[in-house]
Amino acid sequence: MKNIEDHINKDKEILDNSTTNPQMRRHTEMELHDLEDYKKNHPEDDHDPTPLELHCDKDPSAPECLIYDD
């Protein structure tokens, strides 16, 4: 995706499609929720965040999200 808006719109299209299977729907709903939260927390940032960025936005104290200064 080019930016977060495109990703959000794509997820909404998937959810609007009645032929989307239940597993895909569940995954897309969770991803859409995370994307909307990320956008709310970072209004100045319009890039499409990676799954790691979404995870660290929700749980910045997770070991994989910690940044250490040398």
Mark 7-35 as b/e (b = at least 16 C-beta within 10 Å).
bbebbeebeeeeeeeeeeeeebeebbebb
pLDDT tier, 42 (very low <50, low <70, confident <90, very high otherwise): very high
pTM, full prediction: 0.85
Give the pLDDT confidence score for residue 69 in this predicted structure. Answer: 83
Give the pLDDT confidence score for residue 68 in this predicted structure. Answer: 85
- Please say if the pLDDT value at position 40 is more than 80: yes
- Please say if the pLDDT value at position 70 is more than 80: no
Please give the average per-residue pLDDT across 13-31, as a whole number: 96
pLDDT tier, 1 (very low <50, low <70, confident <90, very high otherwise): confident
